[in-house]
Every structure is written in structure tokens, then in C-alpha cells.
């Protein structure tokens, strides 16, 4: 029912899966910044190539990633159209009333669309190849210096891992509730806007009630098992940084240098 | 309303790494007015199967006929609402459907969705809450203050209030005490006999399947393994054991007794009385007992 791929973890065995979450997090962070260096065909092609290489190395199916991206295509399309008509400069390709499409506008909007897609693909790849636990462990480890400033890094990481962990559960729950209410004649997909909004109430109420109940149960289960916060807590999975992680960071730096060289 | 499955296949998460073939080329027939139980190991596709009957799930391939309604694979828009008015569905987890401020309003939700007036819906709701045995002092309370078993009763009342011709029950007695289980199953048996409702029940309880139904379908790995009268199904002890199922306790008892006295047969007996009769027969004892 839901083709949401973002936030889902697919356990496979690949180079990308085996990387240290810290190197993946840093790389994605850097990549998202680097993307903004791309401003001509060659630099954009480089970004796309990097993404393709990442997908290949992760053993993910292109069709799977494509299907996951379908839901964000509409956003990409809107930004594309906005830019198409708003950017100016270059020769006019065609006009329609007061709207003009120029070569510059066309290129700019294509670049921006590529930029958004590339960012989404890379972050999706991160969550597809890294389990929520790894991501939060990596985050916590990277943010450790902030603990000195009395920042609740551990609590923040815990909150994040719990929310990530429960995204699929919540989706599953939503699906079950939609089924149950549809069986009672509730209709989410047709009728006037008003009746559709009204049909959301029978969906949201059980969803919230269930979420609160689960939160209570979880808190109780954690306390019952002796959870007492950060102090003296050890990790089940130790993070280990290998030469592959160094290689990945080197690749990112190399990419950045290349972009700086060939951009306009 | 006759229910017919013709070569129905259902695949979850098609073209993803999580692809799962939950039903594989299933063809079954559930006659109008029958009480059919569906049994099978956990994950054998029972819930998936019954969710096709009211169009909650669409088949990936094949065809389902329910009365005059036909559901085919790859068909976009169908008049599912009309089908769902005729086919009621009690889900495995009732807490997924309660949402109103009061219990009685929640029971009215179904009928009012199908165009019944508020007054009529309230009348039906009171009737059905009475039927499922929920004390009337609770009717104006919030459904979230109830116990799991009471929630289940409210959920069942909510389905009955629509007055369907077919009722699908997915483990209707989970979370009920033995008394409550007996009450709820007798209620459905009574509706089945009095109003000639078609009932399809998914259950893990072999005794319930044996006692209440006139047809049992055994699911295994997304396929129907056997279908037939409970007497016939529960005589195939070895087959059932192979797919991780049991036989009713009364039969288990008789089998061991027959073993002890050195006889090689199986006697289908599902109630305590039938079992007692069988014991007397096996031991060759008193003829005219009560
Ligand atoms: N929404 C879903 N998405 C993906 N796979 C599913 C989904 N629902 C069920 N499955 C899978 O389909 C198979 C059949 O599931 P189903 O719920 O029909 O089993 P069941 O016989 O009802 O089991 P139980 O007795 O535990 O209720 C299982 O392997 C299950 O993992
Ligand atoms: Mg089930």
C-alpha cells in the first residue's frame, strides 16, 4: 500500500552496507554541500555518476529506488516548472503570454531538478543500507564532543533511534486501520474534499491512541530492563573504522576538488 | 451469497526486496449459508485469504466472485462499498477501528456510512450491543476505557449493526475468556442458523473449528491443503500434524484410548457428549445412557 522507500532499511551484504555509519554520515553530509558546487553539464554529470556508482556498489535494484522516488517526483516537477518560467537570461525559446522560457531558464531548472534528485538518492541510499541503530550509533559517536557542553547527545540519539524504529510500525498500523475502517464503509479515496477530511478522523484517532499506548509500554519495558540513561552504558555493536571508510572520504574530497576545477 | 475463489494469487510488496507470495493459485468455494472455518499454521495466508472476500485486498492474479460481485486482478474502480455493506469483517485486532467518543457512536459509524439514518443506526446499535452482551451502563463511555475483550465485543457489534449477509471473523475470540468465547461463538452460530448468514471464521482453535462449522478449509503455505466437513478433515491426523496443526482435544483423547485398547481407527467426536458416547462404544459398555 505504501511505496515509501525513504527511511526503510534493506538488509543486504554489500560494500556500502559494511561501511562504518560514521563515514557514511559524514559523506552524505559533505555530498549534500558539494552538490551546490555543480553548475554546468559536466559537474552535474559527475554528481549523477557518483550516485550511480553508490547504487551499484550497494547492490540495490534501480527499479526499487526508482519506485521509491516516484512519490517525490511531483515536488521535483513543481520546482522544475517554477524555475523554468522564473529564471531569465539567454535566448528565448518560446513565449506564452507574459511567460518566457529561455535557454538559461531551461538549463537552470534541469540542474536544480538533478540537484534535488541526487540529494534524495544519496540520503535514501544511506537509510537503505544503514540500519536505524547504526545511524544513531554513528550520530552519537560523531556528536560526542557536544557532551562536554552538557548537550543531551545520548538522549537525542535514543529519541531518534526510537522514532526511526517505529516508522515502519506506524505505517503498518496505518494500513491496518485503513483496512478496518474501509470494511466499515469509510471512504478515503472518493467524495468531496470535506467528506474526505472527515474520513481522516477515524484513521488518526486509533493511530494516536496506539502510538501513546506503545510509548507507555516501551517506557515501562525499558525501565523494567534497567535502563538508566547514558552513564556507564556500553554498546552491543562497536563501530569500527576501516581503510574502506577512509577511501570513501577520500573519494568525496576528490569529487569536491574535481568539481571546483571544472565548474564555471 | 456464494463465495468462489478462482486461481487467486496474492503477492505483497511486488517488485521490492520484501516480495512475499502469500496466496498461491487458490481455488475454493464457500457455499451461501455455510459456516466455514479456516485453519492453518501462523503465516499460512489465512488473513490474506479472507481479506479478499470484501475487497480489502485485491488479487494479484485470478478472480473472486461474491454473490453478484466479481473482483478481478488489474481492475481499477469497482463498487466495493456495496460489497462491503453485504460482507462484514471483524478484524484480528479490534483496537484498530474504535475511534468515537462513545461506544454507541462507534457502533453507529458503520451503518451511517452505508446511508442509514442516525435514529435507525442508534436503534440498531443498542440492539447489537445487547446481542454481544456489553452492559448498558458502558454504552456512553469511551471505547478506549474498555478491556481488550470488551473492545472486541464493541467491534463485533459495529459489524453486526450494518446487517451484512456474510460475516468474516479473523480470530474473533482472541483476548476473550472461555465464557466469553463460548458466548460470542454461540452468538454467531445463532445468527447463522436464525438469519441464514454465511460465516467465514479464521481460527487457531481446532475445537471451535470442529464444533461450529460445517466446512473446514486447511491452509498451508498460501495454498488450500484440504477442504471438507470437519469430520473428514479431523480424521486426517497425520496430514494435519505435518502442517503443524492439532486435532480437537476430544479426538486426541479418543485416539489415545483407541491406541490403548489396540484398535486402529479414528472417530470424529467434537463435543464432550459425542466423546462420551464414543468411549462407551469403544469400551463396549452401557447401551442406553442419557
Ligand atoms: N501487509 C503485509 N505486507 C507484507 N507481507 C505480509 C503482509 N501481511 C502478511 N504478510 C505475509 O504474508 C504471509 C501470510 O500472512 P497472513 O497474515 O495471511 O497469515 P495468517 O495465516 O493470517 O497468520 P496468523 O495466524 O499469524 O494471523 C506471511 O508470511 C506474512 O509475513
Ligand atoms: Mg491472521
Of all ligands present, the nearest one to the C-alpha of B218 is 1
Q: Is B43 in the pocket of ligand 1 (CB under 6 A)?
A: yes
Q: Looking at the domain assignment, is residue B255 inside a domain? A: no
In this prediction the pTM is: 0.77
Reported confidence tier of residue B288, pLDDT bands at 50, 70, 90: low
Cβ neighbours of A182 in B, within 8 Å: 56, 80, 84
B109 within 8 A of A202, measured Cβ to Cβ:
yes
The per-residue pLDDT for A2 is 46
Q: Looking at the domain assignment, is residue A3 inside a domain? A: no
Q: How many domains does chain B have?
A: 1
Q: Looking at the domain assignment, is residue A149 inside a domain? A: yes
Length of chain A: 264
Q: How many helices (H) and strands (E) does chain B have?
A: 11, 10
A252, HSE (Cβ side, Cα atoms, 13 Å): 20
Residue A238 CA to ligand 2 centre (angstroms):
38
Q: Looking at the domain assignment, is residue B288 inside a domain? A: no
CB contact under 8 A, B114 and A179: no
**B96 touching A, CB under 8 A?**
yes
Protein residue with its CA nearest to atom 29 in ligand 1:
B43
Reported confidence tier of residue A24, pLDDT bands at 50, 70, 90: very high
Residues B276, A115: Cα–Cα separation, whole Å = 78
**B230 touching A, CB under 8 A?**
no
What DSSP line would sit under chain A, residue for residue?
-----TT------SHHHHS-HHHHHHHHHHHHHHGGG--SHHHHHHHHHHHHHHHHHHT--HHHHHHHHHHHHHHHHHHHHHHHHH---S-EEEEETTEEEEHHHHHHHHHHHHHHHHHHHHHHHHHHHS-HHHHHHHHHHHHGGGGGGT--HHHHHHHHHHHHHHHHHHHHHHHHHHHHHHHTT--SSSS-HHHHHHTTHHHHHHHHHHHHHHHHHHHHHHHHTT---STT---SS-----HHHHHHHHHHHHHHHHHHHH--
The per-residue pLDDT for A1 is 37
B225-236 tens-digit pLDDT = 999 999 899 888
Which structural domain, as residue segments, surrounds residue A108? 21-165+240-262
Q: How many A/B residue pairs have CB atoms within 8 Å?
A: 67
Q: Looking at the domain assignment, is residue A28 inside a domain? A: yes
For residue A174, pLDDT over 60 is answered with yes
Q: Which of A99-113, A230-244, B64-78, B129-143 has the highest mean pLDDT?
A: B129-143
B118-163 tens-digit pLDDT = 999 999 999 999 999 899 999 999 998 888 888 889 999 999 999 9
Q: Looking at the domain assignment, is residue B252 inside a domain? A: no
For residue A179, pLDDT over 60 is answered with yes
Write the residue in A177, A185, A209 that is nearest to B113 by C-beta. Answer: A185
Q: How many domains does chain A have?
A: 1
Instruction: Please classify residue B27 by burial: count the beta carbons closer than 10 Å to its beta carbon, then call 0-12 exposed, 13-18 middle and 19+ buried.
Output: middle
CB burial readout B203-220, b (16+ within 10 A) else e:
bbbbbbbbbbbebbbbbb
Q: Looking at the domain assignment, is residue B166 inside a domain? A: yes
First to last CA, chain A: 45
The per-residue pLDDT for B285 is 64
- CATH number of B231's domain: 3.40.50.300
Residue B235, C-alpha cell as written in the block:
480424521
Q: Looking at the domain assignment, is residue A159 inside a domain? A: yes
Q: Looking at the domain assignment, is residue A61 inside a domain? A: yes
B154-178 tens-digit pLDDT = 999 999 999 999 999 999 888 788 8
What long-range pairs does B124-130 form, CB within 8 A, spacing at least 24?
B124/B161, B124/B163, B125/B157, B125/B161, B127/B161, B128/B157, B128/B158, B128/B160, B128/B161, B129/B103, B129/B104, B129/B153, B129/B154, B129/B157
B33-85 tens-digit pLDDT = 999 999 999 999 999 999 999 999 999 999 999 999 999 888 776 778 889 99
Taking residue A20's Cβ as centre, other Cβ atoms within 10 Å add up to: 21
A39-65 tens-digit pLDDT = 889 999 999 999 999 999 998 888 778
Protein residue with its CA nearest to atom 6 in ligand 1:
B12
Q: Looking at the domain assignment, is residue B264 inside a domain? A: no
Write the residue in B16, B89, B96 that is nearest to A206 by C-beta. Answer: B96
B169 within 8 A of B124, measured Cβ to Cβ:
no
Cβ neighbours of A64 in B, within 8 Å: 15-17
The per-residue pLDDT for B39 is 94
Q: Looking at the domain assignment, is residue B25 inside a domain? A: yes
Query: Phi, psi at residue B87, to the nearest 5°?
Result: -115, 110
Rounded to an integer, the average pLDDT of A100-123 is 88
Q: How many Å lie between the alpha carbon of B56 and the closest alpha carbon of chain A?
A: 6
A24 within 8 A of A248, measured Cβ to Cβ:
yes
Q: Looking at the domain assignment, is residue B199 inside a domain? A: yes
Q: Is B40 in the pocket of ligand 1 (CB under 6 A)?
A: yes
CB contact under 8 A, B144 and A177: no
CA angle A37, A43, A49 (to 5 degrees): 115
Q: Looking at the domain assignment, is residue B217 inside a domain? A: yes
Amino acid at each position: 500500500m505504501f511505496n515509501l522507500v525513504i527511511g526503510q532499511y534493506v538488509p543486504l551484504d554489500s560494500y556500502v552496507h559494511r561501511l562504518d555509519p560514521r563515514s557514511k554520515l559524514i559523506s552524505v553530509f559533505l555530498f549534500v554541500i558539494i552538490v551546490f558546487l555543480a553548475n554546468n553539464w559536466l559537474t552535474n554529470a559527475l554528481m549523477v555518476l557518483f550516485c550511480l556508482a553508490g547504487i551499484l556498489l550497494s547492490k540495490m535494484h534501480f527499479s526499487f529506488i526508482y519506485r521509491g522516488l516516484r512519490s517525490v517526483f511531483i515536488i521535483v516537477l513543481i520546482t522544475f516548472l517554477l524555475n523554468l518560467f522564473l529564471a531569465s537570461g539567454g535566448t528565448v525559446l518560446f513565449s506564452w503570454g507574459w511567460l518566457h522560457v529561455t535557454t538559461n531558464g531551461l538549463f537552470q531548472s534541469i540542474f536544480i531538478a538533478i540537484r534535488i534528485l541526487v540529494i534524495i538518492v544519496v540520503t535514501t541510499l544511506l537509510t537503505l543500507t544503514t540500519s536505524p541503530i547504526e545511524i544513531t550509533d554513528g550520530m552519537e559517536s560523531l556528536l560526542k564532543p557536544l557532551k562536554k557542553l552538557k548537550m543531551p547527545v545520548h538522549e537525542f540519539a535514543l529519541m531518534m533511534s526510537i522514532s526511526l524504529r517505529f516508522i515502519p510500525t506506524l505505517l503498518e498500523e496505518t494500513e491496518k486501520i485503513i483496512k478496518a475502517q474501509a470494511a466499515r464503509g469509510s471512504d478515503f479515496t472518493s467524495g468531496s474534499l470535506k467528506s474526505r477530511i472527515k474520513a481522516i478522523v477515524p484513521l488518526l484517532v486509533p493511530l494516536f491512541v496506539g502510538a501513546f499506548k506503545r510509548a507507555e509500554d516501551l517506557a515501562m519495558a525499558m525501565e523494567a530492563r534497567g535502563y538508566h540513561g547514558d552513564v556507564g552504558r556500553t554498546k552491543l555493536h562497536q563501530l569500527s573504522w576501516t581503510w574502506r571508510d577512509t577511501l570513501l572520504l577520500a573519494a568525496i574530497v576528490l569529487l569536491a576538488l574535481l568539481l571546483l576545477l571544472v565548474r564555471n | 451469497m456464494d463465495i468462489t475463489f478462482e486461481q487467486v494469487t496474492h503477492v505483497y510488496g511486488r517488485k521490492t526486496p520484501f516480495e512475499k507470495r502469500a496466496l498461491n493459485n487458490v481455488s475454493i468455494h464457500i457455499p451461501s449459508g455455510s459456516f466455514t472455518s479456516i485453519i492453518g499454521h501462523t503465516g499460512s495466508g489465512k488473513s490474506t485469504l479472507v481479506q479478499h472476500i470484501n475487497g480489502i485486498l485485491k488479487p494479484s492474479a485470478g478472480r473472486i466472485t461474491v454473490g453478484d460481485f466479481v473482483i478481478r486482478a488489474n481492475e481499477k474502480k469497482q463498487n466495493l462499498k456495496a460489497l462491503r455493506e453485504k460482507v462484514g469483517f471483524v478484524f484480528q485486532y479490534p483496537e484498530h477501528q474504535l475511534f468515537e467518543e462513545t461506544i454507541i457512536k462507534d457502533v453507529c459509524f458503520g451503518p451511517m456510512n452505508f446511508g442509514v439514518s442516525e435514529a435507525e443506526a442508534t436503534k440498531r446499535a443498542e440492539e447489537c450491543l445487547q446481542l454481544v452482551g456489553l452492559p448498558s451502563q458502558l454504552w456512553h463511555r469511551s471505547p478506549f476505557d474498555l478491556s481488550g475483550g470488551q473492545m472486541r465485543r464493541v467491534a463485533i457489534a459495529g459489524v453486526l449493526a450494518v446487517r451484512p449477509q456474510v460475516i468474516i471473523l479473523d480470530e474473533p475470540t482472541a483476548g476473550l475468556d472461555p465464557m466469553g468465547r463460548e458466548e460470542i461463538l454461540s452468538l454467531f452460530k445463532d445468527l447463522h442458523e436464525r438469519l441464514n448468514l454465511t460465516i467465514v471464521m479464521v481460527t487457531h482453535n481446532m475445537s471451535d473449528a470442529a464444533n461450529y462449522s460445517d466446512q473446514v478449509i486447511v491452509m498451508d503455505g498460501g495454498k488450500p491443503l484440504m477442504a471438507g466437513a470437519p469430520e473428514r478433515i479431523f480424521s486426517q491426523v497425520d496430514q494435519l500434524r505435518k502442517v503443524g496443526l492439532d486435532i480437537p482435544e476430544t479426538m486426541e483423547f479418543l485416539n489415545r484410548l483407541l491406541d490403548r485398547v489396540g484398535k486402529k481407527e479414528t472417530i470424529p467426536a467434537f463435543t464432550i457428549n459425542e466423546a462420551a458416547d464414543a468411549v462407551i462404544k469403544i469400551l463396549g459398555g452401557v447401551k442406553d445412557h442419557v
